[in-house]
Amino acid sequence: MQMTGAQIIIECLVEQGVDTVFGFPGGAVLPLYDALFQNQRRIRHILTSHEQGASHAADGYARSTGKVGVCIATSGPGATNLVTGIATAYMDSVPMVAITGNVTTQLLGKDSFQEVDITGITMPITKHNFIVKDVADLAKTIRRAFQIAQEGRPGPVLIDVPKDITVHTADFVPEVPRKLAPRTERLSEKSMETALDLIQHAQRPMCYVGGGVIRAKASDDLTQFLENIDSPACTSLMGCGAVNSYSPRFTGLVGMHGTKVSNMCVSACDLLVVIGARFSDRVVSKASAFAKNAKIIHIDVDPAEIDKNIKTYCHVVGDLKVVLEELNKRIAKPMVHKEWMDQVAEFKKRYPIRVDSESARSKEILKALQSVLPPNFFVVTEVGQHQMWAAQFLKHVQPGHFLTSGGLGTMGYGTGASIGAQVGNPESRVVNVAGDGSFRMNCNELATIARYRLPVIILLMNNHTLGMVRQWQTLFFDKHYSETTLDTDIDWVTLASAFGVKGMRIRREDDPKPILQAALELGEAVVIDCEIPVDDKVYPMVAPGASIEDMLGVQEVDEY
């Protein structure tokens, strides 16, 4: 059947199971938007206020649903406005397909109006990208892009489509999408045997868990694995939710803003099993001192991560769910490490997560939020102190329900991502824990929230400063608060009202729980301006270049 390129794009998206896209129109994608208009009953288009918002919304949609997020932008500035969102998805292994328009093929490379080489720009931050110069190649390119975005370690793929390709015609033959098979081609029997032997002979095993477990949908297999090898577990920021926070085996975050317990366990263990994590510098800190008493097993689907940051004793490359299932099968009898687990319990009693009076307010607010949230909620964050507090103080019990920019640390991520999460999960409540510095970057997306009547709650932790940067300036730069004080008198409640969104306040002296409860019961979008002290700090903290055992702000319990 003969179709235009724009129609082919629509048919391929439907074929891939896409029912929602996020975007912003422009001249180079007008034929595609005309096709979207004609197919609005098949694909819902969410118009964001800015293309960056569309990319973050596609990201949040993907993380919260497990589907591929799709965003669309026109050529030139439209395409470049996607770059930060694409990079965010790349660093955090999020399956996304970005479709950009471009000038017609005969104008490519001539510095035409609104022309950029978006494939060249995004090459380092995509799993792969394409520019389609023949409409006959369009369908297979889209199908390949969706396959690449999802297979192995997920990530973003960009498809650049010149405008003339969207109006030219070609034969279109429908296809049933090929079922993705787990990546196991590098999974060797020798590596499995070596890993199993190390596990069986360990006396003090510790598991360090990353976001790869969530991407692989392997949390249940991980839970069984921890039981089988009788091991505690810590997580990276991206791994929040992979291990139930209420589990007695869970020791908290690891690394720079991890718990003292997790960091001590990593240093004291004789075997560190790293599952779906990449040894980020925010976890490892001083590489020569990291897990210095342990042999390290690294289990990951991406061979490029093996021995990249930390040399390992053994590595197992393959789909995490497959690997964990196989290891669980081969452990005939659950192991017992009573002495080690007793020591971990002692660490927990001696080094609880405590805050000084300066920082108690953030914990109080987030604990109040936890108490009123309904089941199956999603928490999204911006980037900064509030992000770390949300990771530390909220209980994460469901994989994929804590959405944050970990690898890139993108301020402005949360509002767009909360849109995507809410659109993808209309029956759930979504809360964006934000800071006033991050929120001002993309608060224009309140227009999108209002337009589509999305009941997103934005909890604005307002300290009138760029809090995390100020914390570093306090600790390491002699309190030289260079350009971190946000003394512009913004009335966030009035701003929300201007967008048609309800605004509320939590003052320093207020009990936050009834206000948060009232906001949730409204069943609509609410911005809550929540005052917190300017010098609240995220503790504990590892100073740059220090061993993860050497933490600032730890309060030890002498008698327990």
358-391 per-position pLDDT tens digit: 668 999 999 999 999 998 999 999 999 999 999 9
502 is catalytic: no
Lowest mean pLDDT among 133-142, 177-186, 274-283: 177-186
Per-residue pLDDT reduced to its tens digit, 110-132? 999 999 999 999 999 999 999 99
Please pick, among 1, 38, 40, 113, the residue that the annotation labels catalytic: 113
The residues near 421 (Cβ < 8 Å, ≥ 6 apart) are 60, 61, 63, 64, 378, 380, 403, 428, 430
Contacts of 99 (CB under 8 A, 6+ apart): 9, 29, 32, 70, 71, 72, 73, 158, 159, 161
pLDDT in tens, 268-323: 999 999 999 999 999 999 999 999 999 999 999 999 999 999 999 999 999 999 99
Q: Which of 163, 260, 321, 537 is catalytic?
A: 163
Average pLDDT, the chain: 96
Q: What is the 3-state secondary structure (H, E, C) of 36-75?
A: HHHCCCCCEEEECCCHHHHHHHHHHHHHHHCCCEEEEECC
CA angle 532, 502, 506 (to 5 degrees): 20
Distance CA 36, CA 39 (A): 5
Q: Is the pLDDT of residue 556 over 80?
A: no
Query: What local confidence, expressed as pLDDT, does residue 555 receive?
Result: 74
Q: What's the CA gap between 406 and 257, in Å, rounded?
A: 13
Check if 114 is active-site. yes
Q: Report the alpha-carbon distance of residue 430 to residue 411 in Å, rounded.
A: 18
357 band by pLDDT with thresholds 50, 70 and 90: very low
Q: Where in 276-400 does DSSP place strands (E)?
A: 295-300, 314-317, 378-381
- For residues 348 and 353, what is the distance between their CA atoms, to the nearest angstrom? 9
Predicted confidence (pLDDT) per residue in 479-489, tens digit: 999 999 998 88
pLDDT in tens, 1-28: 899 999 999 999 999 999 999 999 999 9
Q: Tell me, what's the pLDDT at 557?
A: 63
Catalytic residue among 468, 504, 541, 551: 468
Q: What is the DSSP string of 359-388?
A: THHHHHHHHHHHHHPPTT-EEEE-SSHHHH
Pairing of β 551-552 and β 541-542: antiparallel
Catalytic residue, chosen from 11, 51, 115, 382, is 51
- pTM, entire model: 0.96
Averaged pLDDT for residues 409-425: 98
Catalytic residue check, 556:
no
Q: What is the per-residue pLDDT for 559? A: 44
Helix H or strand E encompassing 505: strand 502-506
Enumerate domains of the chain plus CATH numbers: 2-171 (3.40.50.970), 189-350 (3.40.50.1220), 360-542 (3.40.50.970)
Is the pLDDT at 519 greater than 70? The verdict is: yes
* Calpha distance 347→262 (Å, rounded): 9
DSSP labels, 64-133? HHSS-EEEEE-STHHHHTTHHHHHHHHHTT--EEEEEEES-GGGTTTT-TT---HHHHHGGGSSEEEE--
Which pLDDT band holds residue 560 (cuts at 50, 70, 90)? very low
Please state, for a pLDDT cut of 90, what percent of the chain lies above it. Answer: 94
What token pair was written down for 452? 């589509």
Looking at residues 338-344, what average pLDDT do you find?
97
Q: How confident is the model at residue 496 (pLDDT cuts 50, 70, 90)?
A: very high
Set 15, 67, 114, 398: catalytic member: 114
- The Cα–Cα gap between 146 and 141 comes to 9
Q: What is the edge-to-edge ordering of all strands in the sheet holding 69-73?
A: 44-47, 20-23, 69-73, 96-102, 156-162, 128-131
- Lookup: tokens for 341: 């687990």
d(CA 303, CA 299): 10
| Whether residue 51 lies in the annotated active site | yes
Provide mean pLDDT across the span 74-96. 98
> Within a 10 A sphere around the Cβ of 362, how many other Cβ atoms?
27
The string of pLDDT tens digits covering residues 431-462 is: 999 999 999 999 999 999 999 999 999 999 99
